[in-house]
Chains A and B, each alone.
Chain A
């Protein structure tokens, strides 16, 4: 059975202005205890599910900024994971270009990490400052070069568009730079201003000059048309990769593959249940020290809820929903549940029936939320 492990590191040097993920700056004092707690959870939960499901296919260490941890802490975690799973197919670690050096990258490689996901966001220094990043464009280029020198052959970059003050030209330069660096994978996200972030405060004070709808659309159109020309094929709404270099771990989220989340605020989806670990660092440490479960169940899971999720998640990928897989999982056809929805959305040019699968059209990708919403049954 294919399954994955996600490990969450909730630390950052500094909180980026757009970020509302569970990550904290200025909590370095908890790093040692957190590492110990996390290793304990890895050993306990990891071996439990490994016993049931065999080797995980993928491991993904994300954050926050995993590489904000000191080398020693990272090594402890990698050792703990190595006990569970000495050799996985895809082992990703997220890194901030401002937090890695040769030694750090070599350590990752030594422990079997074979994919590096760099949070670059942009190569424009003024823009990087504007959004609260701690690194420059040059740092990002160096990080790619160092990673390659350390032996990474699978590198992904994250970019963001529709940032305040960003022009189409600046986005174009970043995409071209990424392509020139010959990375294997690019994730590109449209900025959303979330409550509780620095950007939300700036917006409320009238100090956030976001690109207008026209420009934002132009950026989207540019990226969707340009990245394939540069050799990056779109395989999910926000993800582009060279052939065969898609992120297997992230694809798992969309393809109904189970995963075990370890660490504070980590989400799990296993054996039909979804749960989330407590998001508080101290609370997580306390739970692990006292042998309590940090997990918080995420509500009842009816057959309808599962159908909805399987459908709207699968639609994010270019493959879309596989009708036969749906029928096998639920014992009824996709048509019998969503017949009206499928016809309506096909009529609007948002969905396409390609025989065995139902998937988003180009237009559907652009208006994904309008499509996904229709798959909620309640």
Chain B
């Protein structure tokens, strides 16, 4: 197909604003899948994605559409991850497109994450088509939302499409707008090959399959290709497009979007953002914008039952096959035994991985509280990066410490500006700016430690703004902070997995709150359990879990043994989530207690 009949586009939307439903309608309307094959929200294929209404992996689908001019068009839809953790992945997906649909809920309006992605799309010079979705809702205010888009994004909304993915209204108009407004791809079929990898996944038959956009040149089956960043060379066994199942076409030309595969075993050889070129006639330079994987958040993952260690390792390796952003290495904890230190792109990424380990691999896990990466300058002039509070060098060896800061953007109705500011100040945020998106909605930016964000910043924002706040953040820089390590002692013994790094001015308060929270979480046992919080050798807080006085089920009724058994089973099930630390049974949530204090 000629380039002039190709359109590459993605969809930008906030969670719940209807991105996946619109994608489904486009697939349905173009007859890419028959109604029988259509499963609701085809593109979010992972169970978790469907449950949470989010997209974690990018998905692509090629649609064939007959335009108003009677010509056939090839429309390549690239569905992007919709969460701040996956910003880099989003930027690569956008780099593969010439246009984007900006889907905004007609009742909700623009949200912080949408804005971040729109700005990113504008940086990539994409043509943006606003789509006001859910106009069938009684509370829909398309005119207000249009104005908001104009004010906040500076987009002309004259050509905005009013749509309802639910009723199907506006779907054809969207397709026509894509054909009319999204520019066809440029690119020379005969130039040296440059193809951008914007995602990958592992297929047990074909190995790693790379999602690609061919910028220049072409790919044919049997060609020898090379990854320009990792240096991996491979021969093409399959090349084609998704409809949405992979279809082998034998070749892809300049401007096209699809996939390539070829005996690639390791997903780490196929990096998002890398450029694929031809081994015989290589491009002079890779495409711009490649970046290695940089985890932002780390936590320890330990099996509750140490016998499951190997299963956990296998499961992490399997997940890594499909997720190059997941990093892990073995770690030991005095309290928890053998486990893994795992790095994630952000909190959602961490949650998703944990949940998949528990759900798909049936593992019972203890997760330690997430930590950011601290830069520790030692008195001997050395700088070490610390992603686990337990590994912090002794205070006497520390000259200074730096912690990561982010630029956080919050959008709220103006009634809640005060609440946002109060919470942000409390979280050590430094006020940067405030802009009115319209008469009612305000965008506030803060320079704030990432450490505070991963504690309960967003939860607190949500509850203080009755759910109206939306948040986006990106790494800004590292800054020196007065940080100290707070240790927790159970029964007189320090529990390394409960250590946490906090700002010096808040350490005493945090220590008290943490000890009090642990007192709530740790169940009574046969003996008294002292809980202490300490900085170095100085005890800053004490609590006591009193001994359980008795625990006996006395009631006997007419030989109902099954009921007795059920009570015992329930009791035992509760214990399965506990880890014996010394002689103390500690429930899983204790290790996350630091996140639950307020």
A residues sitting closer than 8 Å to B (CB atoms) are 6, 8, 21, 60, 62, 187-190, 192, 213-214, 216-217, 220, 237-238, 250, 253, 259, 261, 265-269, 274, 276, 298-299, 305, 308-309, 312-313, 348, 365-370, 372-373, 376, 378
Contacts and interface: CB of A to CB of B under 8 A. Distances in A.
**Contact size range, B:** 20 to 34
A99 B546 CA distance: 44
B555 interface: yes
Contacts of B551: 366-370
Contact of B556 (A8, A238, A299, A308): A238
13 contacts: A62-B558, A192-B554, A192-B555, A216-B549, A250-B556, A261-B559, A267-B558, A269-B559, A366-B552, A368-B551, A368-B553, A370-B526, A378-B569
Contacts of A237: 552, 554
B561 interface: yes
A376 B549 contact: no
A189 B550 contact: no
A305 B567 CA distance: 14
B71 interface: no
Closest 8 CB pairs of A and B: A217-B549, A368-B552, A238-B554, A189-B554, A267-B559, A369-B551, A213-B549, A366-B550
B561 A269 contact: yes
A178 B565 CA distance: 32
A313 B562 CA distance: 11
Contacts, number: 94
Contacts of A21: 557
Nearest to A268: B559
Nearest to B527: A348
Interface string B551-585: 11111111111101101110110010000000000
A298 B558 contact: no
Nearest to A257: B559
Given A8-B558, A276-B560, A369 B553 contact: yes
Contact of A376 (B546, B552, B561, B568): B568
A305 B569 CA distance: 11
Given A213-B549, A373-B571, A6 B559 contact: yes
Given A348-B526, A373-B571, A365 B552 contact: yes
B562 A276 contact: yes
Contacts of B558: 6, 8, 60, 62, 261, 265-267
Contacts of A187: 556
Interface in B496-555: 526, 546, 548-555
A246 to B, nearest CB: 14
A348 B526 CA distance: 10
A312 B562 CA distance: 12
A312 B571 CA distance: 14
B182 to A, nearest CB: 58
A267 B562 CA distance: 9
B550 A376 contact: no
A276 B554 CA distance: 21
Contact of A217 (B550, B553, B562, B568): B550
Contacts of A376: 565, 568-569, 572
Nearest to B570: A373
Given A274-B561, A367-B526, A373-B575, A216 B550 contact: yes
Contacts of A309: 561, 565
Among A217, A261, A267, A348: residue with most chain B CB under 10 A: A267
A298 B572 CA distance: 20
A368 B556 CA distance: 14
Contacts of A192: 553-555
A253 B558 CA distance: 9
A370 B558 CA distance: 23
A370 B523 CA distance: 13
Nearest to B561: A309
Given A267-B559, A276-B560, A313-B561, A214 B549 contact: yes
Contacts of B557: 21, 62
Contact of A267 (B550, B560, B571, B575): B560
A354 B562 CA distance: 29
Interface of B: 526, 546, 548-562, 564-565, 567-569, 571-572, 575
Given A190-B550, A372-B568, 8 more contacts: A62-B558, A250-B556, A253-B561, A276-B562, A299-B562, A368-B552, A370-B526, A376-B569
Contacts of A269: 559, 561
B381 to A, nearest CB: 51
A305 to B, nearest CB: 8
Among B560, B564, B569: residue with most chain A CB under 10 A: B560
Contacts of B555: 189, 192
Given A367-B526, A373-B571, A373-B572, A190 B562 contact: no
A81 to B, nearest CB: 16
A302 B222 CA distance: 58
A305 B84 CA distance: 49
A259 B557 CA distance: 13
Nearest to B567: A369
Nearest to B563: A267
B198 to A, nearest CB: 46
A208 to B, nearest CB: 18
A16 to B, nearest CB: 13
Among B548, B564, B565: residue with most chain A CB under 10 A: B565
Nearest to B560: A267
Contacts of A365: 552
Nearest to A64: B558
Contacts of B572: 373, 376
A368 B567 CA distance: 13
A187 B558 CA distance: 14
Given A373-B575, A376-B572, A253 B550 contact: no
Contacts of B546: 213
Contacts of B567: 369
Nearest to A265: B558
A220 B550 contact: yes
A19 to B, nearest CB: 10
Contacts of B568: 312, 369, 372-373, 376
Contacts of B561: 253, 267, 269, 274, 309, 313
Contacts of A213: 546, 548-549
A187 to B, nearest CB: 8
A291 B569 CA distance: 35
B169 to A, nearest CB: 48
B552 A369 contact: yes
Contact of A253 (B548, B549, B556): B556
Given A366-B550, A369-B568, A373-B572, A253 B526 contact: no
Contacts of B564: 312
A378 B551 CA distance: 21
B584 to A, nearest CB: 13
Contacts of B556: 187, 189, 238, 250, 253
A8 B558 CA distance: 8
Contacts of A348: 526
B565 A190 contact: no
A298 B552 CA distance: 24
A369 B552 CA distance: 5
A259 B559 contact: yes
A6 B554 CA distance: 19
A331 B561 CA distance: 23
A213 B548 CA distance: 8
Contact of B559 (A216, A253, A366): A253
A328 B484 CA distance: 63
A250 B556 CA distance: 9
Contacts of A367: 526, 548, 550-552
Contacts of A308: 565
Contact of B562 (A188, A216, A298): A298
B337 to A, nearest CB: 18
A317 B404 CA distance: 62
A188 B556 CA distance: 11
